[in-house]
Structure 1
């Protein structure tokens, strides 16, 4: 390779790297799919749509047919028992039980559950996110028994490593979505 050809290749690589750095904070790397369904359910259940989007991103990365090893399924990765409980508690149509993998249904059930936990945890969204992963009963116990103080600063005290990591990831995407898609 000649000297000038090497310089052109190097310049091209440098430009590509700079473009990658520029795009790494763009909407292309952090898409939000099912925006209308998210927006509708966020309004219906008085939630921040970016929180719902962040939960979906971490749970299924917007893959409708995603199923976990533990049996959770759909965009919002709800367990079958939890879905049934939500449908009964929220008095949603019985027909939902046969359509749990549909994006609209999954988002509605997940949004209702997030909203219900927000009330249970007096608006503490960090506890809500932890509850979505570990279960609201476990998080309630951690808070009552002072194992965890319910704050992001104290996230290292969450007894389950999976839940600690989950909370950090959801809140990372939540803030990223707010920055990229938020007003202003």
Structure 2
């Protein structure tokens, strides 16, 4: 009988500890971590982009793994295509940034990726959904879909994006964006 009481007390203590842990900490951040927060925050402020959106794109593009190169040649944690990166470096006037640095270093990759994302958001009059699609498929393709009436660029009609990969990409970025904004109180 005493052994049974000891087990019940230990189980009650353990359950209480686990409940306190979950209620007093941001345990969901274990499932939705954001790495490189300082760099993301710095570039988000510099280019006026929501840091959770940057984090969501990084999560979908590379899952925060540095030094990545996709099978199509996209570089770094924000997976910038070399032609896009070269164009963005010229437009953003970032002479100290190089393709090699973009591939291997977080700071220049996040800087250039955030600048590019900011330029897409401005190009599409603040519509982040269109900008996310353009980040994946290119602004020319997205404009073409919209001009042909294949997609109206609205959040509610994301399922109408004519290319499966881009449609899934936008849905995943929006999913992680929502999770990050729910899980984290502030960046």
Q: Report TM bin, short chain.
A: 0.7 to 0.9
After superposition, give the CA deviation of every residue in 1:13-58 in whole Å (9 maximum; x if it has no partner). xx8xx98xx7997001111000000000000000100000000000
Query: Residues 24, 158 of structure 1: CA spacing in aligned structure 2 closer, same or farther, 3 A cutoff?
Result: farther
Name the Cα RMSD after superposition. 2.1
Aligned pairs for 1:56-135 (under 5 A) are: 56-101=58-103, 102-135=105-138
Query: Residue 143 of structure 2 aligns with which residue?
Result: 140
- State the TM-score, normalized to the length of structure 1: 0.84
Q: Which runs of 5+ in 2 are unaligned?
A: none
Tell me if the contact between 2:89 and 2:97 (Cα under 8 Å) persists in the aligned partners: no
CA–CA distance in 1 between the matches of 2:157 and 2:120? 19
Which structure's CA Rg is the greater one?
A: 2
What corresponds to 2:45 in structure 1?
43
Off by >2 Å, runs of 4+ in structure 1: 22-25, 94-98
Shift in Å, 1:136: 1.0
The structure whose residues are more often helix, as a share, is 2
- Aligned residues, how many? 168
Unmatched tracts of structure 1, length 5 or more: none
Shift of 1:94: 4.6
